[in-house]
Amino acid sequence: MAKHSQVIELEDVVVKFVGDSGDGMQLTGSLFSDSAALAGNDLATFPDFPAEIRAPHNTVAGVSGFQVHLGQRKIFTSGDMCDVLVAMNPASLRANQKWAKPGATILVDTSAFEGKAIGKAGYQNNPLEDGSLDAYQLIKVPISELTQACLKESGVDKRVAERTRNMFALGITYYLFHRDLQGTLEFLKNKFKDKPKIAQANQVALRAGYNYAETIEAIHTTYRIGPAPLEKGLYRNITGNIATAWGLLAASERSGRQLFLGSYPITPATEILMELSKHKSLGAKVFQAEDEIAGICSAIGASFGGNMAVTSTSGPGLSLKSEALGLAVIAELPLIVVNVQRAGPSTGMPTKSEQSDLFQALFGRNGECPLVVIAASSPANCFHYAYMASKIAMEHMTPVILLTDGYIGFGSELFKVPDVNDLPGIKPPMAIPNDKNFKPYRRDEKTLVRQWAPAGTEGLRHRIGGLEKTNIDGYVSTDPLNHQLMVNIREEKVNRVADYLPPQKIVGEDSGDVLVVGWGGTEGALLSTVSKMQELGKKISLAQFNYIKPLPHNTEQLFSKFKKIIVCELNMGQFVSYLRMTLPHFKYLQYNKVEGLPFHVQELTEVFTKLLEEK
């Protein structure tokens, strides 16, 4: 047995699994994440996979990856550079070597590094032999050959054995980090319960990888990451899309309104539809429509019928829903529209993330068509903001667009499961059957909200549709003065939602040299950067916005206390343009990125440091 020189205690570590799109890297990364969660680590993940359904084998275009950042402290991002890179073929190494820190551990499957595969990856020479990896701790293992050997007597064919090599690599990684195999062994047993030979083959490969790592001389160092100091409670490693679905389910339960989702599958939002389809026992009704327009129109019909209505999509789908969104606005019906943003325009890069749909959410409809826009900022708080989007939509009788993005929708983190009874109540303004004083557009004086009278409510028949109506009575009208009145009322109704929003919070001192402003899914990187700079004594603070239209009432007051304001977005400057329109008397600086990748802490640190040093 090999004698390993040391076990290093780490506060946090970044591990990335990369391989061909058929190598099972998403499952491998997910299982490693689950093992970290079971060990009590905090974590954040970043799945990164190609848009091509069948990219050419062993090419850079077909590389799939899964990055995990785990630690014994609070983790806010999936990490910049990786400490450990597991590369299953030459193309994945070529595509990801730039993300490995100097001195990082790189585990490679030497079986995959043969002439043809090396050439298809764009290498002139074998990188395992030409000295190009001398700056790293290289662990060379013939993973494919060893997997075939350990499964020789298992009864599975060569092709099935080849597909379990990711479990062999995972076993080696578990050894590197002193992880327990039992949870993963149980998962494999349950996942393949109808195919026991395949379950056993994966289990054998996992154990074989662990045992091999225990005996080879190439591993001189292993790592230990202690548990994070988490509050007591029930935790789940959860993706943003699943958290969104759960938040919608919780809002349905608290409001007493049955959930209806009308949607068309689209990357990266499809998992919301898939998750809700599993919960018919909770009263959820899910309709997979033939297109985006049918999806939202079915949801509007469900809202007219008294349901908590939802439609989910991404940027291209939101553009198709715009006319129907106008119908929901003019009819003043509650509707939740979840937009999991991706890189555009057009089809763009469908598996990559951006924040480029803000203008579309704010302004992308014909006519004066105001609605509420809010944004989730982490995988876990997708639950909270899906819940709040539902609460606002139903209590204020308005459509609400909830913006998430592919980074937090596919990414995961630890989520403390709340008690539904502890969530704020939701009280839709339901009309009373046979109310002789009912008028369809009579409004609450404080909120300007009309009552919700679902179709079929006895004695409350009224007109509905896309034509302008008179205030109070709801008669169809083309009167110019009435149209002006109704446009003003609908805008003011949305603005008054601000009266029910929490004040905007600041991380750090409420005055200083620089205020960093972000919104939505950039929170992790911005928070990590600002927190580290605050520890160094820098006078820098962060305001991360979740409520966008309307803005929280105290926004102007917060901005007034800082010498410089820099707005950071994964677009060309949409939120900063909105701020310039809404609060024009401040000078806004901006930092923007549209690479389909999240911000890195290192790049932000450089930008903010330079800004602090400028006079």
Element (H, E) at 212: helix 196-215
Q: Establish whether domains 236-422 and 512-613 are of one fold.
A: yes
End-to-end CA distance of the chain: 61
The pLDDT score that the predictor gives to residue 157 is: 87
How far does CA 377 lie from the centroid of its chain?
A: 8
**How many residues comprise the chain?**
615
CATH of domain 236-422: 3.40.50.970
Dig out the tokens for 187 from the structure.
Answer: 């998962």
- Alpha-carbon distance 235 to 61, whole Å? 36
CATH for the stretch 512-613 = 3.40.50.920
The answer to whether the CB of 336 falls within 8 A of the CB of 310 is yes
Q: Which amino acid is at 495?
A: N
537: left (phi over 0), alpha (psi -120 to 50) or beta: left
Structure tokens at 80: 């910049």
Residue in this structure with the two tokens 């009575």, named with its chain if needed = 473
Distance CA 56, CA 79 (A): 29
Q: Long-range CB contacts (< 8 A, 24+ apart) of 472-477?
A: 472/439, 472/441, 472/442, 473/439, 473/440, 473/441, 474/439, 474/440, 474/441
Give the distance from CA 173 to its chain's centroid. 26
* Residue whose C-alpha is closest to residue 141's, from 208, 82, 203, 95: 208
pLDDT for position 4: 52
Strands 399-405 and 335-341: parallel
Residue 57 structure tokens: 């084998």
pTM of the model: 0.95
Q: Are 522 and 568 in contact (CB under 8 A)?
A: yes
Please report the pLDDT score of residue 1 as a whole number: 42
- Residue whose C-alpha is closest to residue 237's, from 525, 30, 28, 520: 30
C-alpha to C-alpha distance for 21 and 354, rounded to whole angstroms: 22
Residue 107 is inside which H or E element, if any? strand 100-109
Residue 156: predicted pLDDT: 84
Whether the CB-CB separation of 327 and 391 falls below 8 Å is answered with no
User: Per the structure block, which two tokens stand in for 364?
Assistant: 């992308």
> How many C-beta atoms surround the C-beta of residue 519 within 10 A?
29
Pull the structure tokens for residue 312: 């989910």
Q: How high is the mean pLDDT in each 10-residue block of the chain (615 residues)?
A: 70 96 93 95 93 82 95 95 97 96 96 94 94 94 95 86 95 96 95 92 96 88 92 94 98 97 97 97 97 98 98 98 98 98 95 96 98 98 98 98 97 94 96 96 97 96 95 96 98 98 97 97 98 97 98 98 98 98 97 96 97 91
- What residue has token string 């303004």? 429
> Given its phi and psi angles, is residue 479 left (phi above 0), alpha (psi -120 to 50 degrees) or beta?
beta
Strands (E), 360-484: 372-375, 399-405, 412-416
All structural domains of the chain with their residue ranges? 6-224, 236-422, 512-613
Give dist(CA 379, CA 521) in Å, integer: 8
Give SS3 for 409.
helix
61 is written with which tokens? Answer: 């275009």
Token pair, residue 129, equals 């032999």
Contacts of 421 (CB under 8 A, 6+ apart): none
Note the pLDDT of residue 5: 59
**Fold category of 6-224 in CATH:** Pyruvate-ferredoxin Oxidoreductase; domain 3 (3.40.920)
63 pairs with which residues across the strands? 20
| Residue 57 confidence (pLDDT) | 86
Q: What angle do CA 75, 76, 81 make, to 5 degrees?
A: 85
